[in-house]
Amino acid sequence: MTRRLFGTDGVRGTANVEPMTAETALALGMAAGHRFIRGDHRHVVVIGKDTRLSGYLIEPALTAGFVAVGMDVVLLGPVPTPAVAMLTRSLRADLGVMISASHNPFEDNGIKVFGPDGFKLSDEVETAIEAHMEKGVADCRVGASHLGRARRLDDASGRYIEFCKNAFPRGLRLDGLKIVVDCANGAAYRVAPKVLWELGAEVIEVGVAPDGFNINRDCGSLATHTMQAQVVAQGAHLGIALDGDADRVVMCDEHGALVDGDQVMALIAEEWHRAGKLAGGGVVSTVMSNLGLERHLGRLGLTLRRTKVGDRYVVEEMRRDGFNVGGEQSGHIILSDHGTTGDGLVAALQVLAAIVEAGRPVSEVTRRFKPLPQILRNVRYNPGLNGAVLDEAHVAGAIRDGEIRLGDAGRLLIRKSGTEPLIRVMAEGEDECLIDAVVDDIVRSIQQVAG
């Protein structure tokens, strides 16, 4: 069947508008819960959320759905997505759910589902759940004496703090480091500053006053100017910017210069390779990663395995061939020695460990390769078109022309976003003027038919 509910990262949409409504959340809870009820034990689902106002809408609806099929619900409150994945395994739960739209504005929300192993559900399982919802979920209900119960786990944040600290090498501390941490007014607003402080850093907190509306607003990993400005103004050694659910990270050095996911992956891969800890002979990333990363890894005798965009596809490739470092240029970094999904804070701690051990300026430690010029632009389209603008002859012609102009000196990637009504146009190559012109022409052609 054609998937209409699940995208590249769960279900996402405008809050209180289909599919992000209480009715759909209720049905999703019933269908997902029913699928994962196996055996005679008490079945458990853990539910976390970020700080969006609409979390108060989606959380009780999901809870009701799971309870209706006989699952006990453990409510975590505001915690990062990787905390949900970790606690799903720690509590031996049958399912984990994170209510978040990640880096999107507060008006949006989403539902990410994890299996009992802490990994996001496969396309096949999501499709089966969606098919069950399509035909109706009345058959999932249990009798009154078999309904589930709900309770809150008061120390969820504390458990995740200890989990993060255990990912930092024993014997190292962050004493003497002044760090700006921007929590995007999101799920990590409590835990991230505490982890850094408990490891010895002087912490300057940004984006730690959520009000239900300000998540990701002018802060976080997609609005890094706030972090960069604070690092320079405060004379800090570096900055860490998380997104709304803290599964991605973007950093900056003492000068405010950005350190993106590609540089983070390069640093971790090189350090782990040197220490004999790197598995798989390289790194798994997506088609968006810079060619400079691929060349840098090649010089180290390592490979870059590319997947389609989406951290879940990176994880699937890592599991298939035994890699333990993977991620996305946007800052989703997956370190399978420590977790099952992207974890911005754990990734940042690996960078901090390298900085402490090197004893050199952050700008020197974090610049592992020179990226090729790369330009990415987003074009918003009318959702009713469902991205069909890419099939228009005018647009297809502009794309073919761009590919011819770039030739072997660059690459072009045009894709529909799986989480927003956007078409992403990316070009990369040695000649920055050329790739800029190619992207401009393609963007213009899309805008003419994008509605």
- What are the catalytic residues? 102
Q: What is the spatial distance between Cα 140 and Cα 351, in angstroms, rounded to a whole number?
A: 46
The tokens for 444 are 């213009």
- Residues 136-139: contacts with CB under 8 Å, at least 24 apart: 137/27, 137/30, 137/31, 137/34, 137/65
What is the Cα 129 distance to its own chain's centre? 22
DSSP string covering 135-198, please?
H-SGGG---GGG---EEE-TTHHHHHHHHHHHTSPTT---TT-EEEEE-TTSTTTTHHHHHHHH
320 close to 142: Cβ distance less than 8 angstroms: no
Q: What is the spatial distance between Cα 165 and Cα 163, in angstroms, rounded to a whole number?
A: 6
- The residue among 1, 4, 6, 2 whose CA lies nearest residue 126 is 6
Compute CA distances 289 → 2, 316, 324, whole Å.
Answer: 29, 17, 17
The tokens for 170 are 């024993």
β 43-49/71-78 pair status: parallel
β 410-416/333-335 pair status: unpaired
Residue 407's region, left for phi above 0, alpha for psi from -120 to 50, else beta, is: left
Residue 112's region, left for phi above 0, alpha for psi from -120 to 50, else beta, is: beta
Q: What is the spatial distance between Cα 419 and Cα 417, in angstroms, rounded to a whole number?
A: 6
Spell out the residues 6+ positions from residue 439 whose beta carbon is closer than 8 angstroms to its own. 375, 377, 402, 425, 426, 427
* Residue appearing with tokens 């609409």: 54
The tokens for 27 are 């049905």
DSSP string covering 326-371, please?
EE-TTSBEEETTT-SS--HHHHHHHHHHHHHHHTS-HHHHH--S-P
